[in-house]
Amino acid sequence: MHHCLEIPELVEEIFLYLNAKTLASLARTCKSLREPALDELYCETMNLGDLFGGMRLGISSAGEYQDVNARAHIRPAARQTQDVLEGSMSQKILANVARRYDWRPFLRLSSRVNVLHLISPDFGESSIRTPPIHYGILNAALSYTPGESVLFPSLRHLYIDPSNLNTIVAGSSRTASLAYFLVPTLLDITFEGMVPGGTIRVISQRCPALRSLHLSNSSLSIVPGDGCTLSQLSEAFSRMQTLVSITMQPPSGASYNEWLAAIAHAPCLRTLQIDMGTIQVTVTNQHHRIVFPSLTSLCVSAWTYSAVCQLFDGTYNFSSVTQISLDTLASARNALTSFVGIIAETLSPERVTRISISTQSRIQRGEFPTMDDIRPLFIFSSLTDLRIDSPRAPVMDDTGLEYLSLAFPRLRTFHYSWKPREDDHLLQTITFSGIRTIIANCRELQDVYLIVDARVSHNPPLEYITMVEPHISRVTRLSLEASPIDDVAYTVACIRALFPYLVNFLAQGSDAEAKVIWKEVHSELWCRRERHNQGREPMMASS
């Protein structure tokens, strides 16, 4: 073996690009590569049965090279192993057989698992449906574990459907089945399906290091039969001292308000992402406002803007938020102005550093939104990140861009997307002169997304544009979408003068001809950049 393969970091990087079949072959072929190959092979496990049957490597729970998952190819000698896994024997016979097995090969594989999928028994690479594993088998394997007695001591990320656990673990209750997989090392859990409040209580007791909780496409419920009340659920969240991020995406609005009230008790929660879909939050008569004291980042998306607005009806206090994102698809005409008003009334101007608003409402012919629609945002002078994506956003020109740059002098990221119109012989848009103004007023600007009119007839002379100090612009990422253009040389000279440190450039014209010209501009920019890197040409245009 070549000496370079003795470097563990190099071998790990190479194995990232190999498929399961190749990794299994390496584990069988070479002793020195066996351990790193197994680590990569079982790092993310899509099927719990793979750890018992060794589907990828063909290692059975008895240490024999046989495939106990492929039911059509099970040899008679392996039939007993299959019956044990399914628990189809009587309890007494099952216990005797389980004790005779040496479960250390299974534990050597389970200890390598960092990511475990328990969403569906045939999810992932396996095309063969694995039968449920009897809980007696898991208990037998646990008897071989030292110390804290956990089957997955390295598990970090878990994907699970609690309502589907009976297809994963047979013969046990949901809570008892969860206990096998909720280990102290877990950092992230993603749920699908029904998530009872009792499940959260178990997590709070068994996962002290949990940092992220994803309730993806999950039905949130608090039912008496589950043994969990709203106060108990709130207490469970209050015990999660390391939980910093929660994502909610329920398919229905049942118990939605109750869950938000309980989540507010998480003492270290920093990020809350809510995908409401078509949910209409029911306004409840609260005796006091629900406060999220440590929340700094809030992201809300919904089909209708009214559903988003209901979250800010006064029931919840989001005054601690410093980063907010509001996104809606089926928007009314006043969605943008409503969101702007909500942000201005709810958040603290001194604390907010990031605002993102996205709406999809269409502008009608003859309508011209003005800067007054977004002027309430001008109180947030500490903004470093502003993103507005809406057809109803005010049509931006050089004057409006100057107002924005003076209102937000600390901007580092500025994305402004609207629908340019040409009604009643009126066309307003940004030119390179306006860009020159914003990079002069916002000296920390690094990421820009705008619609710019790059046509020579609409822009000032090149000499005016190139009178820019090289140290003024620190922009490294520039996107010019749907921008009209007619001259390659002029545009290249302007971009080189205004953005000397540009690294990432994206532009696309509004018609076929403009797209071709922008493609030439892109090629010319990077050709000159290569010549600059080789020392044959200065990056800045001479003034």
Kindly state the average pLDDT of the residues 409-430.
72
Determine how many CB atoms are found less than 10 A away from the CB of residue 440.
Answer: 16
Determine how many CB atoms are found less than 10 A away from the CB of residue 290.
Answer: 17
Q: Which residue has the higher pLDDT, 253 or 18?
A: 18
Ramachandran angles phi, psi of 455, nearest 5°: -70, 140
Average pLDDT score, the chain: 78
pLDDT range class, residue 334, cuts 50, 70, 90: confident
Look-up of token digits 């108990």: 232
Percent of the chain with pLDDT over 90: 26
Whole-angstrom distance, CA of residue 297 vs CA of residue 301: 14
What pLDDT is stored for residue 84 in this prediction? Answer: 47
Kindly state the average pLDDT of the residues 483-499.
89
pLDDT at residue 61 above 50?
no
What pLDDT is stored for residue 65 in this prediction? Answer: 32
pLDDT range class, residue 219, cuts 50, 70, 90: low
Whole-angstrom distance, CA of residue 501 vs CA of residue 537: 15
Kindly state the average pLDDT of the residues 191-220.
83
pLDDT range class, residue 1, cuts 50, 70, 90: low
Q: Which residue has the higher pLDDT, 11 or 541?
A: 11
Q: How far is CA 249 from CA 113, 114, 257, 306, 396, in A?
A: 27, 25, 13, 17, 35
Helix (H, G, I), strand (E, B) or coil at 449: strand
Identity of the highest mean pLDDT range in 118-122, 253-257, 274-278, 536-540 = 274-278
Q: How far is CA 355 from CA 336, 343, 362, 382, 386, in A?
A: 13, 9, 22, 11, 5
Inter-residue contact 19 to 44 (CB < 8 Å): no
What pLDDT is stored for residue 298 in this prediction? Answer: 95
Which amino acid, 2?
H
Q: Which residue has the higher pLDDT, 475 or 129?
A: 475
Whole-angstrom distance, CA of residue 504 vs CA of residue 147: 51
What pLDDT is stored for residue 93 in this prediction? Answer: 47
Say which range, 104-108, 204-208, 323-327, has the weakest mean pLDDT. Answer: 104-108
What pLDDT is stored for residue 534 in this prediction? Answer: 54
Q: What's the pLDDT tens digit per position in 336-355? A: 888 999 999 989 999 999 99
pLDDT range class, residue 136, cuts 50, 70, 90: confident
Inter-residue contact 390 to 326 (CB < 8 Å): no
pLDDT range class, residue 529, cuts 50, 70, 90: low
Inter-residue contact 249 to 229 (CB < 8 Å): no
- Per-position DSSP letters for 242-286, written without gaps between them: T--EEEEE-SS-TTHHHHHHHHTT-TT--EEEEEEET--PPP---
For 475, half-sphere exposure in the C-beta direction (CA atoms, 13 angstrom radius) is 27
Whole-angstrom distance, CA of residue 89 vs CA of residue 66: 21
Q: What's the pLDDT tens digit per position in 143-184? A: 777 665 788 999 999 998 887 787 788 877 888 888 889 999
Structure tokens at 54: 């060794």
Structure tokens at 384: 């470093």
Kindly state the average pLDDT of the residues 38-43.
88
Identity of the highest mean pLDDT range in 77-86, 201-210, 510-519 = 201-210
pLDDT at residue 73 above 50?
no
What pLDDT is stored for residue 531 in this prediction? Answer: 55
Residues 6+ apart with CB under 8 A from 268: 240, 241, 242, 243, 244, 294
Q: Which residue has the higher pLDDT, 224 or 451?
A: 451
Inter-residue contact 406 to 375 (CB < 8 Å): no
DSSP H or E run through 133? strand 133-134
For 314, half-sphere exposure in the C-beta direction (CA atoms, 13 angstrom radius) is 6
What pLDDT is stored for residue 218 in this prediction? Answer: 54
Determine how many CB atoms are found less than 10 A away from the CB of residue 457.
Answer: 7
pLDDT at residue 128 above 60?
no
What pLDDT is stored for residue 240 in this prediction? Answer: 95
